[in-house]
């Protein structure tokens, strides 16, 4: 070793330092370069998600300020339809794209994205026609319903917005969130700017809001897809398409189940409130839930980075890091959510008053309860990240299926009896169940992996 060499001259010492220091310096430079690179990418991911969620948040706020409660309730119900379709699409198309696009199809990424574009076209046609039929049936049953035009808007917006999301995810596969953030900026400018113009002209409505989302996505997605350079030319045609569908379904079926369970455990209260207490009460819930959207979207962006990190630790079988990762993520996710909600809860009265122009004042007393439910729900998300990193999406489904069961068994009678307050309290309970079950499953699986990594040693006597 260099430290044990006895030098007899000053020159010898100086030569040894010159030889020994550069590798250490290069290692430190490489480490800090990696830290700066991933920090920059993380900030871009947050910016990307923040621009899109911010645009949608402003849409919800402007509609709540200027629409009658029943029309805003129609927007809330239609937006939940959009969320349901988006979580299904994310589970079957986007999440598998993140996995296979950077592994199996890493060397044929352009052809792979071209196949996904073909699949998207089929999905878009089904969604457009399906929601169009639903709108026609509702028009026949209840011609005066505000839901008719809202469903038409969702039918037009959903294929466009999902195509935009497909392009964004393609850049994340290539570890280039910069281009995704640029696309999100264009989308948000089109949507928010168009909404201001429509509001100024006096034509603000749920249909107009969804059509503006469609326009923003339709303007942005083609430019992003062109930047990705995908190709529709295939070497073996139908076989390649069938192979991609097989891989996506094999991975995504449990992801789909867990995604639907996550959506259902939070969305069930809208139709229950609408059925028992009218669309206006569903609008009150949407006005309340708008406050949880920014922090939820922030940690959705964080999950784009924390999931690969957790998967890498799991893959390398680092028992010490793996045993502490669950607690660290719970502290980061839960702590960040608590910090956000402390500000909202303290200033909830002026915030509600100014955001909604004096409307929806009755929801102020429920903000602390929503804060508690949000902390529990995002903490459950941190544990779901660990389960996905363990290649156990079925356990994510178990955790949120338990939350959905609570939402149904308690949500229906509590909402019927206590209205909006009953829905919010049940939401807190279902979020607590999701967190407890997910944490227990992570702990059980971690113990099982630790035991399998350290098999018992048998000692035999002579």
Of residues 245 and 453, more confidence is placed in 245
What is the rounded average pLDDT of the residues 119-145?
A: 90
309-343 burial, b at 16+ Cβ within 10 Å, e below that, comes to ebbebbeeeeeeebeebbeebbeebbebbbebbee
380 and 410 inside one domain: yes
- Band of the pLDDT at 6, cuts 50, 70, 90? very low
Q: Does position 148 have pLDDT exceeding 50, yes or no?
A: yes
Non-local (6+) Cβ contacts of 454 within 8 A are none
Instruction: Decide: helix, strand or coil at residue 6.
Output: coil
In a domain, 89, yes or no: yes
- Compute the Cα dihedral for 316, 321, 323, 324 and give only its sign: negative
Kindly report, residue by residue over 318-333, the tens digit of the pLDDT. 555 555 677 778 888 8
**pLDDT tens-digit map of 421-450:** 999 999 999 999 999 999 898 888 766 555
9 within a domain of the structure (yes/no): no
Q: Residue 11 has what pLDDT?
A: 44
User: Is 446 found in the same domain as 337?
Assistant: yes
Q: What is the DSSP letter of 158?
A: H
Question: Do 340 and 317 share a structural domain?
Answer: yes
Number of domains in the chain: 2
In a domain, 428, yes or no: yes
The Cα angle at residue 102 between residues 115 and 252, in degrees rounded to 5: 65
The pLDDT of residue 426 is 93
235 secondary structure, DSSP code: S
The pLDDT of residue 220 is above 50:
yes
| 457 secondary structure, DSSP code | P
Predicted local confidence at residue 450, as pLDDT: 54
The Cα 54–Cα 48 span in angstroms is 10
State if pTM tops 0.75: no
Domain final position from 267, 296, 326: 267
Q: CA nearest 101: which of 152, 157, 164, 166? A: 166
- 272 located within any domain: no
Higher pLDDT, 370 or 262: 370
Say which residue, 414 or 264, is predicted with more confidence.
Answer: 414
Domain presence at residue 203:
yes
pLDDT recorded at residue 202: 83
pLDDT at 215: 94
The least confident of 102-106, 143-147, 169-173, 190-194 is 102-106
Whether residues 57 and 106 share a domain: the answer is: yes
Lowest mean pLDDT among 83-92, 146-155, 208-217, 391-400: 391-400
pLDDT for res 217? 93
- The stretch 36-49 carries a mean pLDDT of 69
Going by pLDDT thresholds of 50, 70 and 90, the confidence category of residue 309 is: low
- Do 114 and 245 sit in the same domain of this protein? yes
Neighbour tally for 281: CB within 10 Å: 23
* Pair (245, 289) in one structural domain: no
Q: Please check whether residues 172 and 297 belong to one and the same domain.
A: no
**Confidence band for 178, pLDDT divided at 50, 70 and 90:** confident
Domain boundary among 267, 294, 327: 267
Residues 6+ apart with CB under 8 A from 242: none
Residue 387 resides in a domain: yes
Q: What are phi and psi of 456, to 5 degrees?
A: -65, 140
List, as one string, the DSSP characters of 165-197: HHHHHHHHHTT-HHHHHHHHHHHHHHHHHHHHH
Q: What pLDDT score does 4 carry? A: 43
Domain identity same for 263 and 306: no
Q: In the predicted model, what is the mean pLDDT of the chain?
A: 80
Higher-pLDDT residue of 271 and 108 is: 271
How many other C-beta atoms can be found within 10 angstroms of the C-beta atom of residue 236?
A: 9
Question: Does 232 lie in the same domain as 136?
Answer: yes
317 and 390 both lie in a single domain: yes
Range of the domain at 212: 40-267
Q: 16 lies in a domain?
A: no
295 with 409, same domain? yes
Domain boundary among 240, 267, 294: 267
Tens of pLDDT, residues 53-107: 788 888 888 888 888 877 888 888 888 889 889 888 988 888 788 777 766 777 7
446 plus 353 within the same structural domain: yes
pLDDT, mean of residues 263-271:
81
pLDDT at 121: 93
Residue 433 has a pLDDT of 94
The predicted pLDDT at position 376 comes to 93
Quick check: 420 and 285 in contact, CB under 8 A?
A: yes
* Integer Cα distance of 402 and 396 in angstroms: 10
Classify residue 455 by its DSSP letter.
P
The answer to whether position 15 is within a domain reads no
């Amino acid at each position: 070793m260099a430290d044990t060499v006895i030098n007899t001259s000053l020159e010898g010492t100086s030569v040894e330092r010159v030889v020994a220091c550069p590798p250490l310096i290069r290692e430190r430079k490489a480490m800090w370069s990696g830290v700066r690179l991933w920090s920059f990418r993380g900030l871009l991911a947050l910016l990307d998600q923040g621009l899109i969620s911010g645009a949608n948040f402003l849409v919800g706020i402007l509609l709540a300020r200027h629409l009658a409660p029943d029309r805003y309730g129609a927007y809330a119900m239609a937006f939940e339809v959009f969320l349901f379709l988006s979580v299904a699409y994310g589970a079957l198309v986007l999440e598998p794209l993140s996995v296979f696009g950077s592994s199996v199809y890493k060397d044929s990424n352009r052809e792979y994205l071209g196949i996904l574009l073909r699949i998207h076209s089929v999905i878009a046609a089904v969604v457009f026609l399906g929601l169009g039929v639903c709108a026609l049936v509702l028009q026949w049953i209840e011609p005066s319903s505000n839901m008719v035009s809202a469903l038409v808007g969702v039918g037009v917006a959903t294929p466009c917005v999902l195509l935009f999301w497909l392009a964004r995810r393609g850049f994340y596969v290539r570890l280039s969130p910069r281009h995704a953030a640029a696309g999100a900026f264009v989308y948000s400018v089109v949507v928010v700017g168009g909404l201001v113009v429509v509001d100024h002209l006096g034509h603000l409505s749920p249909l107009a809001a969804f059509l503006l989302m469609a326009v923003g996505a339709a303007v942005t997605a083609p430019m992003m897809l062109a930047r990705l350079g995908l190709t529709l030319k295939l070497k073996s045609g139908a076989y390649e398409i069938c192979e991609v569908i097989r891989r996506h379904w094999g991975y995504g079926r449990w992801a789909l189940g867990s995604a639907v369970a996550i959506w259902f455990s939070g969305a069930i209260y809208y139709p229950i409130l609408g059925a028992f207490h009218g669309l206006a009460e569903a609008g009150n819930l949407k006005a309340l839930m708008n406050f949880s959207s920014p922090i939820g979207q922030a940690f959705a962006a964080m999950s784009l980075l924390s999931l690969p990190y957790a998967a890498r630790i799991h893959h390398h079988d680092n028992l010490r890091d793996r045993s502490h990762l669950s607690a660290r993520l719970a502290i980061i996710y839960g702590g960040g959510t608590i910090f956000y909600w402390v500000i909202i809860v303290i200033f909830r009265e002026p915030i509600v008053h100014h955001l909604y122009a004096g409307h929806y004042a009755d929801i102020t007393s429920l903000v602390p309860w929503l804060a508690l439910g949000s902390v529990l729900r995002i903490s459950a998300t941190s544990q779901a990240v660990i389960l996905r990193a363990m290649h156990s999406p079925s356990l994510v489904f178990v955790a949120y299926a338990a939350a959905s069961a609570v939402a149904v068994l308690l949500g229906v009678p509590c909402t019927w009896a206590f209205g909006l307050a009953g829905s919010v309290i049940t939401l807190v309970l279902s979020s607590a169940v999701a967190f407890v079950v997910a944490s227990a499953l992570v702990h059980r699986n971690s113990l099982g992996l630790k035991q399998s990594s350290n098999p018992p040693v048998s000692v035999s006597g002579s």
